[in-house]
Amino acid sequence: MKSSLERTVCRAGELAPGQRKIVFVDGRCIVLFNLGGELRAIDDACPHNGASLFAGRLEGSVLRCPAHGLAFDLLTGCSPASRALCLTTFPVRQIDDGIVVTLKDGGSLA
């Protein structure tokens, strides 16, 4: 049976639409995005070479890795060019005034 780890990582008011924020959950660096009111959470490491994605250029829901320009759709977690290349994503939701990230088995959900 898989166990889940839920953590409130910030207050909802700290992540307005269009903003992003780095948080730490059990030693993992996670980037939160508010895409026009829709929350997304990803591991802050590009699956290609481990570069930080926090400073990547965001074009709508597509995030570009600042190291090599690889594109990832935050709505699917995968690269539009190759569905085999995907980010590590995490379920995220707002509960009352908090933003909660969920990890399974202390790890990720892809």
Give 62-89 pLDDT, tens digit per residue. 999 999 999 999 999 999 988 889 999 9
- C-alpha span between 86 and 77 (Å, rounded): 5
Phi first, then psi: give them for residue 70, nearest 5 degrees: -60, 140
What domains are defined for the chain?
4-100 (2.102.10.10)
Residue 108 has pLDDT above 70, yes or no: no
Alpha carbons within 13 A on the beta-carbon side of 15:
26
* pLDDT of amino acid 105: 59
Residue 107 has pLDDT above 70, yes or no: no
Residue 1 has pLDDT above 60, yes or no: no
* pTM, to two decimals: 0.89
| pLDDT tens-digit readout, 36-71 | 999 999 999 999 889 999 999 999 999 999 999 999
